[in-house]
Amino acid sequence: MKIALACDHGGLNLKKEIIKYLKENGYDYKDFGTDSFDSCDYPDYALPAAEAVANGECDKGIVVCSTGIGVSIVANKVRGVRCAHCHDCYCAEFTRRHNDSNVLALGEKVVGVGYALKIVETFLTTAFEGGRHQRRVDKISDIEKKY
């Protein structure tokens, strides 16, 4: 599984910890930046990561900023991306099981590193249930096509 990663300056510390986790657990990844603590604009990094998930270059994505809100808004503008802003493992589990979310948004200043890595683990290891939930995901896709 290949993971698209992106952050702004407010999410760089957490992204570095996520990279360590991915390496230790045998995940492949592509880092779309940033690699600096200099102030930058999160859309410049979250967008190419989300596009990599949408076009199949990466299987899933993880985007990080101070709160996780900005990067989740950006990622969800990309057709085919279902980005979930999660701050606990329950939400990470159920967004995978029920929504087949393919991008996770995290806030570095909202959740501690240890718990954030548990959220990442839950997101990456939980399968989509399909069934009645597929019908709902299909409706989301129909909405994307409309707009």
**What pLDDT does residue 100 have?**
98
Residue 85 bears catalytic tag: no
In Å, how far from its chain's centre is CA 3?
A: 9
Q: Residue type for 19, please?
A: I
**What pLDDT does residue 110 have?**
96
Residue 91 bears catalytic tag: no
Under a CB-based contact definition with an 8 Å cutoff, are residues 39 and 78 in contact? no
pLDDT digits (tens, 9 = 90+) for 87-106: 999 999 999 999 999 999 99
Q: Residue type for 29, please?
A: Y
At residue 126, what are phi and psi to the nearest 5 degrees? -95, 130
Catalytic residue among 89, 91, 98, 133: 98
Catalytic residue among 7, 9, 58, 65: 65
Nearest to 60 by CA among 97, 86, 30: 30
pLDDT digits (tens, 9 = 90+) for 25-80: 999 999 999 999 999 999 999 999 999 999 999 999 999 999 999 999 999 999 99
**What pLDDT does residue 70 have?**
98
**What pLDDT does residue 26 have?**
98
